[in-house]
Amino acid sequence: MSNYGCQQELITPSKELRAILEYACEEANKLTNCGTYYSRQLYFKTGHIAGKYELHKLLKDNPHFQSLYSHVSQQALTSVAESFKSFKALKKAFFNGKIDQFPKVPNYRSKDGFTLLTFPKADVKLKDGLLRFPLGGKVKAWFGIDSFHLKMPSNLDYKEVKEIRVLPRNGAFYVEYVYRVTTEKPDLDPSKVLGIDPGISNWLTCVSNTGSGFIIDGKHLKSLNQWYNKQVARLKTNQPQGFWSKKLANITEKRNRLMRDAVNKAARLVVNHCLHAQIGTLVFGWNRGQKDGANMGKKTNQKFVQIPTARLKERIAQLCEQYGICFVETEESYTSKTSFVDGDFLPTLGEKPEGWKESGKRTKRGLYRTAQNQYINADCNGAANILRKVSTTLGLKLGGVSSGALKTPLRIHIWIAQEFPALATQRTSVGAA
């Protein structure tokens, strides 16, 4: 089966190359704003959403369009058209009751900012290990430059590359290679299931009906965000609102790189475990809008909102699709309160019966005390209950959930090398059929 992957590399440009990239990305930004202006005015006056070909035709004589290679300019305007198309779809979803908030009309980008450049592969030539990216005819006439060059990465096959992007971010430039990935789907068992309960200190708590249980640690992510917030607060002290500097851009980019790395590592750990244990179904506990509606106190809210769990969920879903793992998302109401071991009735959000009460209780130090006075990991209890949420619908048997997985899950630190498949299984079955 063929899928598409994306590899991103930091560009370390010379002074001349940086000037070219800044100029091109700035022109793309101005062209994007021109397309946004036309699309907004058209929508406000007529309710019509402009298509990409309409924008291409209308703005082909625009000086910002002509200052870039034609296909790059068209890609910038296509992005504008797609953003308005998405707005139209979200608006329809709002009126159909599928989403709670009315979407905002796509707005302008920062006046002096940069935006990405997208080059179709047909326009980029490879020669002597260097990729040649064409510039517009106007640039050649004005500056005597018709292209710029970047080194082709050695770990990619140029024949598989479909698109190349130059991405500006926080004062740095990256090159992204979109390429085709051919993956053979392994033999997986859909009756084997892994339940995931997201959190803060325990970023992902995972329990399966194959007897395994593990926690991907989130404490280091909390520490990184705490460091970042302190640095931002220090640099913005006594500064006007909206203040930004090169130092702020540098520490923001460093923090964002670490977050992206954490997302990719954690997602890969989860999916690799599924492949190793032949788990064919993955259930992720997620309450829609839970970040926007978080009400856990100022400090806890800050920790929760800044950890990129939503991006991690999306990345896991992408990898599941790539490898043929069934990804299921379910609401996780009352999963922390209800005792999995005692088989308590598990209410749905907003449908708790009058007089309902759980048999166990969450205690200090992250433990849950069951009705039989046994102590298990509270987050593992939640992850197991997330499996119960969908067990009837999916026809899953949870008898393989073990006491070892609930009591002593393996803790994994994503930036410390570990032989992940060695977690194997923790024995002694306690799960409900």
What radius of gyration, in Å, describes the C-alpha atoms of the chain? 25
Give the percent of the chain with pLDDT over 70. Answer: 91
At residue 235, the pLDDT reads 93
At residue 417, the pLDDT reads 57
Q: Is the pLDDT of residue 423 over 90?
A: no
Q: Are strands 117-120 and 161-169 parallel, antiparallel or unpaired?
A: antiparallel
Q: Is the pLDDT of residue 378 over 80?
A: yes
Q: Is the pLDDT of residue 80 over 50?
A: yes
DSSP string across 357-408: --SSEE-STTEEE-TTS-EEEHHHHHHHHHHHHHHHHHT---TT-BHHHHHS
At residue 428, the pLDDT reads 45
Provide mean pLDDT across the span 28-55: 95
**Confidence band of 305 (pLDDT split at 50, 70, 90):** low
For 193, the token pair is: 């299931």
Provide mean pLDDT across the span 32-60: 95
For 115, the token pair is: 């935006």
Provide mean pLDDT across the span 115-129: 93
Angle subtended by helix axes 246-276 and 309-323, to nearest 10 = 40
Residues 6+ apart with CB under 8 A from 87: 49, 103, 104, 105, 106
- Pair 360, 369: CB distance under 8 Å: yes
CA distance 253 to 67: 29
Residue 310, judged by CB atoms within 10 A of its CB (0-12, 13-18, 19+), counts as middle
- Pair 194, 368: CB distance under 8 Å: no
- Name the residue with higher pLDDT: 276 or 347: 276
Task: Return the number of other C-beta atoms located less than 10 Å from residue 15's C-beta.
Answer: 6
| Per-residue pLDDT tens digits for 229-266 | 999 999 999 999 888 888 999 999 999 999 999 999 99
With b meaning 16 or more CB within 10 Å and e meaning fewer, what string describes 113-127?
ebbbbbbebebbeee
Residues 6+ apart with CB under 8 A from 386: 195, 196, 197, 283, 284, 285, 330, 332, 335
Task: Return the number of other C-beta atoms located less than 10 Å from residue 140's C-beta.
Answer: 13
> pTM of this prediction?
0.80
At residue 11, the pLDDT reads 92
**Confidence band of 304 (pLDDT split at 50, 70, 90):** low
Q: Are strands 367-369 and 361-362 parallel, antiparallel or unpaired?
A: antiparallel
Q: Is the pLDDT of residue 34 over 80?
A: yes
At residue 356, the pLDDT reads 79
Q: Is the pLDDT of residue 323 over 60?
A: yes
